[in-house]
Homo-oligomer: A and B are copies of this chain.
Amino acid sequence: MRISLIGSGNVATHLALAFYECGHVVDQVWSRNIDHANLLASRVEAQPIDDLRKLLGNADVYVLAIPDDALFDLAGDLRLGNALVVHTSGATSIQVLKHCSTRYGVLWAPQSFVRDAKMDYGELPFCIEGSDPKAEEDIAVLAGTVSTHIYHTTHQQRQWLHLSAVLVNNFTNGLYALAQQLCREQQLPFEILYPIIQTTARKAQWGDVRYQLTGPAVRNDRKTIDAHRRLLANDQQALEVYDLMTQLIQRIKHG
């Protein structure tokens, strides 16, 4: 297929590379900043542009891989006839694209992209939704050239999945960062915890996570819980996190 990318950030970069590596033609890459457009376009043999009026109408698919706010601004002005237009946002309804084309949808990969890190695109999960069954099928075919992990999800499901991704990615990162700060304050190398972090993540793939809950919260080991609470006595916010996560774990275990 002939694909044009609107955007040049982490998501746009990895999707463009994934399509390019799968043999698709990446036609144009748009960015507000021509240097950014250039950088990505040169990696996928595409034409860089910084003016949407230069967008040619001959691509099969237009992929809008831009932040949510920009998506709302930009989609209002874009008119792409009958081409397939998709956005890549976990949180946004496909209706934002309804004036852009007669055929539109979403191609969202719930993954944490880092621009310069190599990725195995065949492992990428794609959550898709189309404005009509044919559009959804076309998006599935496109996604299917990259990965076999295609999920047809409604807007409601995608919203919950986006929230769930925030829990397991952003919030988990928040816990890592807090632990790293505590280790730093105690002159402890954070690397001591690398193995347990990796094991914990691997075990999330073992089925029902409820049955893998361990530690003082699940055992309601008050002595250890109180010892931890005393350590955090001078950090009200961290103490609240400790108490609330302890309660959450006890609820999930017994729920």
Give the B-binding residues of A (Cβ under 8 A).
Answer: 68-69, 91, 110-112, 114, 123-125, 127, 149, 151, 153, 156-157, 159-183, 185-189, 191-205, 208-210, 212-218, 221, 223-224, 227-228, 231-232, 237-238, 240-241, 244-245, 247-249, 251-252, 255
Contact = CB atoms under 8 A, between A and B. Distances in A.
Contacts of A200: 112, 168-169, 172-173, 201
A213 B172 CA distance: 10
Contacts of A185: 160
B114 A203 contact: yes
Contacts of A201: 172, 197-198, 200-201
Contacts of A232: 163
B165 A193 contact: yes
Contacts of A194: 125, 204-205
Contacts of A166: 215-217, 228
A251 to B, nearest CB: 6
Closest 10 CB pairs of A and B: A201-B201, A170-B215, A164-B179, A177-B209, A174-B249, A171-B245, A167-B179, A160-B186, A176-B204, A176-B209
A108 to B, nearest CB: 10
A125 B7 CA distance: 43
B249 A244 contact: no
Q: How many copies, total?
A: 2
A183 B196 contact: no
Contacts of A177: 209-210, 213, 249, 252
Given A68-B223, A175-B175, 4 more contacts: A68-B221, A112-B199, A125-B193, A169-B214
Contacts of A203: 112, 114, 173
Contacts of A189: 151
Contact of A91 (B182, B212, B227): B227
B179 A168 contact: yes
A178 to B, nearest CB: 6
7 contacts: A112-B203, A114-B203, A125-B191, A170-B215, A170-B216, A174-B248, A177-B213
